[in-house]
Amino acid sequence: MTVSNQVTSASVATEPPAPLWLVDLNHVSEALWKRFADVLDMAERERAGRFGLPDRRLQHIVAHGLKRLVLSRIVGSRPDTLTFKLGNFGKPHLLDHPNIDFSLAHCDGLVGITVSLRGPVGLDLERRHRVIDDRIAARYFSLSEQACPNVDRVRLWTLKEAYVKAIGHGITGDFNRFTVALDPPGIDAMRSCTAWQSSVAQTHIAAVVLLAQQK
């Protein structure tokens, strides 16, 4: 559960702006899988049971087990006693700990969480070879992003999604109202932030965005 230290040339820093834990589902032992499953609450277990595909069920269990194990270390409580609430756009928050923000992500066999004590944070994971076609780009990318020839759309997407997750929104109308730069990674938006991006697990791109604290 450690972050890869392989960083793309576009990264501003060699480390993400908030701690990041990653789990490759291809390397989850039976003992570790059981550890994740044992800390889930009843609702999380019921949701896991509704997944028909074993891979999706395992991904759900690992994501929410990882969430509980990481956060329990930070707050000093048992992982199975933590309680959560959802924000207006569905972003989960740790109840009784408003100073802690976190973001979960999972994509095709990779699960991650980033945790911040310094402001809202967002994480996105995408497969390196995901295809983002012109139709998706026209809907979700800004005009200046669409105008860039040969731009790496997967890298754009991870930074954009990490930002909207940091501000607490999903993929809404806000997604194409700000512009991302790649070299180095940066975001031109209403909230100032620190952006980081890296190749991880050899198959994925990760992006973490930490918003500056508002005065």
pLDDT at 173: 61
Domain membership of residue 3 (yes or no) is no
C-alpha closest to that of 38 among 48, 24, 25: 48
User: Do 65 and 39 form a contact (C-beta atoms < 8 A)?
Assistant: yes
Range of 43's domain?
Answer: 20-211
Closest CA to 157 of 112, 118, 96, 107: 107
Q: What pLDDT sits at residue 215?
A: 62
Q: Give the CATH number, domain containing residue 120.
A: 3.90.470.20
At residue 26, what are phi and psi to the nearest 5 degrees?
A: -75, -10
Note the pLDDT of residue 124. Answer: 97
pLDDT of amino acid 149: 84
For residue 14, tell me if it sits in a domain: no
Q: What angle do CA 178, 182, 186 make, to 5 degrees?
A: 50
The answer to whether residue 9 is domain-embedded is no
- The reported pLDDT for the residue numbered 14 is 58
Residue 56 forms part of a structural domain = yes
Phi, psi of 147 (to 5 degrees): -80, -10
Rounded CA gap, 155 and 197, in Å? 8
Question: Residue 33: is it exposed, middle or buried by C-beta count within 10 angstroms (0-12/13-18/19+)?
Answer: middle
Residue 38 lies in a domain: yes
Q: Which amino acid is at 75?
A: V
Distance of CA 92 to the CA centre of its chain: 12
Please report, in tens digits, the pLDDT of each residue of the chain (215 residues total).
Answer: 433 322 222 234 458 999 999 999 999 999 999 999 999 999 999 999 999 889 999 999 999 999 999 999 999 999 999 999 988 778 899 999 999 999 999 999 999 999 999 999 999 999 999 999 999 999 999 999 999 888 999 999 999 999 999 998 877 667 888 999 888 888 988 888 999 999 998 899 999 999 987 76
> Would residue 15 count as lying in a domain?
no
Q: What token pair was written down for 68?
A: 């509980």
What is the number of structural domains in the chain? 1
Which pLDDT score is estimated for 172? 66
Residue 12 lies in a domain: no
Burial of 181 (0-12, 13-18, 19+ CB in 10 A): middle
The pLDDT value given to residue 41 = 95
Kindly give the pairing relationship between strand 92-94 and strand 84-86: antiparallel
Helix (H, G, I), strand (E, B) or coil at 150: coil
Cβ-based neighbours of 50, under 8 Å, separated by 6 or more: none
Instruction: Let me know if residue 170 belongs to a domain.
Output: yes
